[in-house]
């Protein structure tokens, strides 16, 4: 797999660091605490007992001044998967990076780098989901119109040539993005190594609402 370099993101981050945007960077909750917050939120969502935290007008006004999200969610654009709803979180809690098929394009990597290095998010969740149309299209191949090939190519690069099921393809794609963030993309890999961030893969089950974290 090719290595990713994001000089523009690095330059932007350096500039933001210099201009003092990062004064709270790394001061958020620990990766484990963030994982517990979203796991508990998902349990409430599944049970149909959401608390809908951090959505009051006062909170909205507070975070308008400054954002310190605890978790980055790299996920699919699918209309049936809304990170704030399924993790029962509010405004300013999650920094969400969405493309069809939750891929590790340089643009997406730059967004993750900004959320972690500049805004101080400590947990990165790569979240795929069952019945993913983007992974399905990538597996089926063939000619696709417009810019859709650009959306499915990163998924196709992650998939093996052997015959696999859609569920296997979805999990392999999540693990591939998790691996890029954890080991291949220097800026996030360095943060993983130092313990500043944790990267977790997960699969969302649309019918039950359950998020299953992968090891």
Catalog residues that contact Zn ion under the rule CB under 5 A: 76, 78, 132, 134
**Rounded to 5 degrees, what are φ and ψ at 179?**
-65, -40
Instruction: CB nearer to Zn ion: give 99 or 188.
Output: 99
**Residue 3, C-beta contacts closer than 8 angstroms, at least 6 positions apart:** 184, 185, 186
Instruction: CB nearer to Zn ion: give 70 or 129.
Output: 129
Instruction: CB nearer to Zn ion: give 79 or 194.
Output: 79
Is-contact 93 40, C-beta < 8 A?
no
Q: How far is the CB of 4 from Zn ion (least distance, A)?
A: 22
Instruction: CB nearer to Zn ion: give 20 or 146.
Output: 146
Instruction: CB nearer to Zn ion: give 91 or 166.
Output: 166
CA separation for the pair 90, 152 (Å, rounded): 30
Instruction: CB nearer to Zn ion: give 78 or 88.
Output: 78
CA separation for the pair 73, 66 (Å, rounded): 19
Q: How far is the CB of 173 from Zn ion (least distance, A)?
A: 9
Is-contact 202 78, C-beta < 8 A?
no
CA separation for the pair 140, 191 (Å, rounded): 36
Q: How far is the CB of 170 from Zn ion (least distance, A)?
A: 8
Q: How far is the CB of 155 from Zn ion (least distance, A)?
A: 10
**Rounded to 5 degrees, what are φ and ψ at 127?**
-115, 105
Q: How far is the CB of 213 from Zn ion (least distance, A)?
A: 18
In the block, tokens 């997960």 appear at: 202
CA separation for the pair 171, 175 (Å, rounded): 6
Q: How far is the CB of 133 from Zn ion (least distance, A)?
A: 6
Q: Is 163 strand, coil or helix? A: coil
Pairing mode, if any, of strands 123-129 and 94-98?
unpaired
DSSP label of 199: E
């Amino acid at each position: 797999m090719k290595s990713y370099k994001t000089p523009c993101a690095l330059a932007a981050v350096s500039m933001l660091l210099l201009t003092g945007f990062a004064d709270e960077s790394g001061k958020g909750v620990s990766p484990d605490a963030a994982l517990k917050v979203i796991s508990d939120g998902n349990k409430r969502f599944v049970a149909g007992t959401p608390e809908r935290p951090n959505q009051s007008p006062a909170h909205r006004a507070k975070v308008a001044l400054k954002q310190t999200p605890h978790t980055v969610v790299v996920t699919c654009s699918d209309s049936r998967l809304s990170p704030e709803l399924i993790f029962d979180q509010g405004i300013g809690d999650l920094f969400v990076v969405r493309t069809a098929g939750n891929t590790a394009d340089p643009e997406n990597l730059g967004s993750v780098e900004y959320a972690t290095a500049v805004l101080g998010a400590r947990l990165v969740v790569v979240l795929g989901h069952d019945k993913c149309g983007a992974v399905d299209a990538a597996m089926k191949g063939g000619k696709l119109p417009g810019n859709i090939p650009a959306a499915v190519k990163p998924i196709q690069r992650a998939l093996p040539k052997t015959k696999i099921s859609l569920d296997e393809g979805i999990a392999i794609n999540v693990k591939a993005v998790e691996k890029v963030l954890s080991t291949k993309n220097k800026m996030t890999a360095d943060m993983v190594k130092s313990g500043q961030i944790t990267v977790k893969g997960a699969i969302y089950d649309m019918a039950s609402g359950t998020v299953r974290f992968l090891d």
